[in-house]
Amino acid sequence: MPLLETAAVSVRFGGNVALSGVSIAVEPNTVTGLIGPNGAGKTTLFNVITGLQRPAAGHVLLSGADVTHMSPYKRAQRGLARTFQRLELFISLSVRDNIRVAGDMRNASRRGPRIDVGREADRVIELTGLADVAGRDVAEIPTGRARVVELARALMTDPKVLLLDEPASGQTEQETETFGELLRRLAGDGLAICLVEHDVSLVMQVCSTIYVLDYGAVLASGTPAEIREDPAVITAYLGTTEGVA
């Protein structure tokens, strides 16, 4: 059974349709990719899933339960975590405190046993390879590392489902490679990961299923090999040559 499902989600901004009838499923132990051109509605879908945006129609299911009308923090307490395309770090806190505070929030929610926030933070910092910047202000570190801090912060909540919004943008090639390995490892530990990413080679490497969004609708879905051969996808990404002189 998928841990996260959206069922025919639609969103309108004024007269514009941002999402129309989008249904995706994210399984545990896997990385599911979500790709598509700019403005296709990927971030909007993440906002609907996490509760920051109310859908006009459709449902969001978390572990089979309908959470469509649940507030964002309750969804988070049920094991949903995300990162942001436009970085949403806590800029007054150090890297380590950015990670620690997520554990503080977990303890404050009284969900599950109390954790030793300091030790848990050390474990996550070790896991994500942030030890060298742990003591610095988040405003000082490069974008690529800052994105890893957002991932580490999300991991502190002990999530079951992880939504990553363009985590590799701003990373160097080497950082992206390490990042891909980390994603595979996290999925191997049982996480259900949904990855929005423009670095398609990363998506092709780590994802077992890929959804292609275009104009707010699912254009295609399948394995990386299927997606790569799909003519509709190629058109969506490269544009059409018809009609141009």
Among 64, 113, 139, 231, binds other proteins (CB under 8 A): 139
Neighbours of 56 (CB within 10 A): 14
Distance CA(13)–CA(218), nearest Å, equals: 18
27 binds other proteins (CB under 8 A): no
Encoded amino acid at 108, one letter = A
Q: Which is nearer to other proteins, 187 or 212 (CB)?
A: 212
E strands present in the chain: 4-13, 16-26, 30-35, 57-62, 65-66, 80-82, 161-165, 192-196, 209-214, 217-222
157 binds other proteins (CB under 8 A): yes
> Which of 4-12, 26-34, 164-172, 177-185 is the region at the interface with other proteins (rule: CB under 8 A)?
164-172
> Which of 2-10, 23-31, 57-65, 194-202 is the region at the interface with other proteins (rule: CB under 8 A)?
194-202
- Smallest distance from the beta carbon of 7 to other proteins, in angstroms? 21
- Smallest distance from the beta carbon of 238 to other proteins, in angstroms? 5
Tokens of 242: 């018809």
What strand order describes the sheet that includes 65-66?
16-26, 4-13, 57-62, 65-66
Residues 82-121 that bind other proteins (CB under 8 A): 82, 84, 86-93, 97-98, 100-102, 104-109, 111, 117
39 binds other proteins (CB under 8 A): yes
Among 1, 38, 65, 189, binds other proteins (CB under 8 A): 38
- Smallest distance from the beta carbon of 88 to other proteins, in angstroms? 4
> Which of 5-13, 56-64, 127-135, 226-234 is the region at the interface with other proteins (rule: CB under 8 A)?
226-234
Among 37, 57, 127, 178, binds other proteins (CB under 8 A): 37
Residue 80 bridge partners (DSSP): 161
Contact 11, 128 (CB under 8 A): no
Is residue 56 classed as helix, strand or coil in its secondary structure? Answer: coil
